[in-house]
Amino acid sequence: MSWGVRPKRRVGVMGGTFDPVHHGHLVAASEVMESFALDEVVFVPTGEQPFKANREVTEAEHRYLMTVVATASNPRFTVSRAEIDRPGKTYTIDTLRELKSQMPDTELFFITGADVLPQILTWKDADELWSLAHFIGVNRPGHSLDAEGLPETGLSLLEVPAMAISSTDCRARVAEGKPVWYLVPDGVVQYIAKYGLYREGRARTGNVS
């Protein structure tokens, strides 16, 4: 019998608006999981943000449920309500602290696309982020993947298969009556249709029930 120290669990954290979640998110999470030998990736949909870049964001419950539907088939993907249940504006630092206290013996790996990397230094308590999680930046079409200005030790860059998909584009396609099949998981296509999300002239806050 071996008495070696049990290695810490390695958990990825993928934050996002997920309005809607698409295959770019899922491929990024899956690739990081494989390359960094993660045990699990937790998707964390952001809380209610009345506006993001001057647009209305879909009700958190819809974004959360679409993320659950999209990840349901993968036993190592989970979805956290940490941000959607936290009142007020949510910050990544608070989420990492919360996850760390829920899973004290865990190493956290925060996954972000190349478009988000340059913003990290402006986040709340940016200096402390690096002590709570290792950051992993992945490439994204249209954005260069570099770590300029970011601490070398707290960050890794990973090339993943490039997926030229964005939630903005998926919303626009639905509004124009174009299909989003194969850009988002089948269950998410069906969820969007069921609740009439993103259709022009419809309230974005359609009720879940």
Please say which residue, 14 or 209, places its beta carbon nearer to ligand ATP.
Answer: 14
Stretch that binds ligand ATP, among 73-81, 121-129, 161-169, 185-193 (CB under 6 A): 161-169
Q: Report DSSP letters for 109-178, one per residue.
A: EEEEETTTGGGGGGSTTHHHHHHHEEEEEE-BTTB----TTS-STTEEEE--------HHHHHHHHHTT-
Peptide bond into 20 cis (omega under 30): yes
User: What residue has token string 């969820």?
Assistant: 191
* DSSP notation for 46-73: ----SEETTEEPP-HHHHHHHHHHHHTT
Which range binds ligand ATP by CB under 6 A, 75-83, 84-92, 99-107, 162-170?
162-170
Our CB check for ligand ATP shows the closer of 163 and 195 to be 163
Among 69, 109, 140, 183, binds ligand ATP (CB under 6 A): 140
How many residues line the site for ligand ATP (CB under 6 A)? 18
- Residue 37 DSSP SS3: coil
Closest CB to ligand ATP among 4 and 50?
Answer: 50
How many C-beta atoms lie closer than 10 Å to residue 42's C-beta? 23
Phi, psi of 38 (to 5 degrees): -80, 150
Residue among 35, 74, 156, 166 that touches ligand ATP (CB under 6 A):
166
Provide the minimum distance between the beta carbon of 193 and ligand ATP in the complex, in angstroms, as a whole number.
19
Within positions 79 to 138, which residues make up the interface with ligand ATP, using CB under 6 A?
112-113, 115-116, 138
Write each residue from 5 to 44 as x if it is in contact with ligand ATP (CB under 6 A), else as -, in one continuous string: -----------xxxx----xx--x----------------
Decide: is 167 part of the binding site for ligand ATP (CB under 6 A).
yes
Interatomic CA distance for residues 44 and 64, integer angstroms = 8
- The least CB distance from residue 41 to ligand ATP, in Å, is 12
| Interacting residues with ligand ATP (CB under 6 A) | 16-19, 24-25, 28, 112-113, 115-116, 138, 140, 163, 165-168
